Structure 1
């Protein structure tokens, strides 16, 4: 493969620093994870955004979370076709093979994917409307929820509320998966919707009884 290049030197240095400190000090734990396999209690579906650091937010160690990241932390509806469903495959593995007890959808402030969806809904993103746009077609999952925030005039507040709606949409779509619905109804799995403010470090949890997000 002629296009693959050596790892950047700063990443090589960071790796050696990790191997000499964190790994060296916890070698027995890492070897146990390798030999006994993973037993995460929770799966987290979060955004690809580099500012969202799931393990740091919850102070989690290796082996605690089964993490899947995608644009705008979206879960598409359950579908069976010939397409490749990375998010759906991760959910299936977490629920049916790993038997996680909790499935968490984590949204966040200043989400570029959500803003892109807003721009599409307002007719301001022709590049995302193009058939060949992977991001645009992925954000089609969220477009039906725009009507819930269309009347908000303040653009910043509209975006923040739509980010929360992205979490709600994913929770709703999770229940279209037969194995998720079954696990939830049997009391083997619980679903959780969260939204975090990157700048303030805040965390909100979705309350289905009120349909609103409340501070944790």
Structure 2
């Protein structure tokens, strides 16, 4: 197959910035790690860690944790939320990814990664914001944390920024609690085969705060 020129590519719909990035990837990282990619293609993926992160373009876990191809299994949705276990026959993309990661890939760790200035969390705190569409999919999704959002919003002693950060971190604990509502996750954790983690990334400073699994507090790990 012949390589496509810039002129050939101009009408196929992909932004030129993506195509330029792909070329850089092929001449850089793919070349450097071609053996790794070949091994992954032939042997499949065996990541030990699943990361549940937000869709936000500023908080990509592969970049934050500087991982190699195949090292982490990533699920991204609005505000990195995990809904409770609900085997109701409906479509559940988050639950499907969890099922595959735990039951097929046998990951050893699940990390819920939140971040600062999350748009989904901001929407949850703004009860007067209008739906973005008649379906109000974001509003429905963020209703998962509605009780916590109402409680945080009612605290007038906190600034808007403090309320935002508080709910971002509360939602991480909420998602971890919901992870345990999945029978197979609860069983694997109790057997010591699976560990659940929470972390929060500050976009403006690059700081990573890790949730203490016993207390629920968020602390900064040592940089050493």
TM normalised by structure 2 equals 0.88
Cα deviation code 1:121-148 (max 9, x no counterpart): xxx12426x8721111100111122255
Matches within 5 A, 1:17-32: 17-32=24-39
2:199 alignment partner in structure 1? 194
Cα deviation code 1:42-73 (max 9, x no counterpart): 00000000000211221211100000000000
Aligned residues: 209
Worse-matched range after superposition: 18-27 or 4-13: 4-13
User: Does the CA contact (< 8 Å) of 2:36 and 2:69 recur in 1?
Assistant: no
Worse-matched range after superposition: 10-19 or 68-77: 10-19
Worse-matched range after superposition: 11-20 or 109-118: 11-20
User: Does the CA contact (< 8 Å) of 2:84 and 2:182 recur in 1?
Assistant: yes
- Give the gaps of 5 or more residues in structure 2: 1-10
User: Does the CA contact (< 8 Å) of 1:145 and 1:169 recur in 2?
Assistant: no
Cα deviation code 1:142-169 (max 9, x no counterpart): 1122255231431110001000011011
Instruction: Give the alignment partner of residue 145 of structure 1, picking from 144, 148, 160.
Output: 148
Query: In 2, distance between residues paired with 1:142 and 1:126?
Result: 18
Is 1:105 aligned to residue 112 of structure 2?
yes
Q: Secondary structure at the match of 1:192?
A: strand
State the Cα distance separating 1:23 from its structure 2 match: 1.1
Q: Secondary structure at the match of 1:140?
A: helix
Matches within 5 A, 1:131-170: 132-149=135-152, 150-151=154-155, 152-170=157-175
Query: In 1, distance between residues paired with 2:160 and 2:167?
Result: 10
User: Does the CA contact (< 8 Å) of 1:131 and 1:137 recur in 2?
Assistant: no
TM normalised by structure 1 equals 0.91
1:87 alignment partner in structure 2? 94
Q: Secondary structure at the match of 1:141?
A: helix
- Give the gaps of 5 or more residues in structure 1: none
2:212 alignment partner in structure 1? 207
